[in-house]
Amino acid sequence: MRKPIANYKNKPCPKCGSDDINRILYGLYDSEYVSKCLEEGKKVTFGGCLITDNSPAFECNKCGNKFGKTRPF
């Protein structure tokens, strides 16, 4: 059963098509989102404090592919 999380659309992995996707969290993150992930038994990926134009926004749980773009805060 998949519960959509408001404001965070999970795109399928462009590499393997899996929709088992982590959002990579940077410096500022949404603690509500984190606790929701932990409640659902999902792992949460922290990307560190520095965010660049090339920082990927998502990580695939299946193949480890990182993709997407993080919008600057």
Residues that bind Zn ion (CB under 5 A): 13, 15-16, 18, 60, 62-63, 65
Within 10 Å of residue 70's Cβ, how many Cβ atoms?
18
Query: Smallest distance from the beta carbon of 59 to Zn ion, in angstroms?
Result: 9
* Closer by beta carbon to Zn ion, 36 or else 66: 66
| SS3 assignment, position 58 | strand
Q: What sections of the chain are H helices per DSSP?
A: 31-39
Query: Smallest distance from the beta carbon of 12 to Zn ion, in angstroms?
Result: 8
* Closer by beta carbon to Zn ion, 27 or else 62: 62
Query: Smallest distance from the beta carbon of 19 to Zn ion, in angstroms?
Result: 9
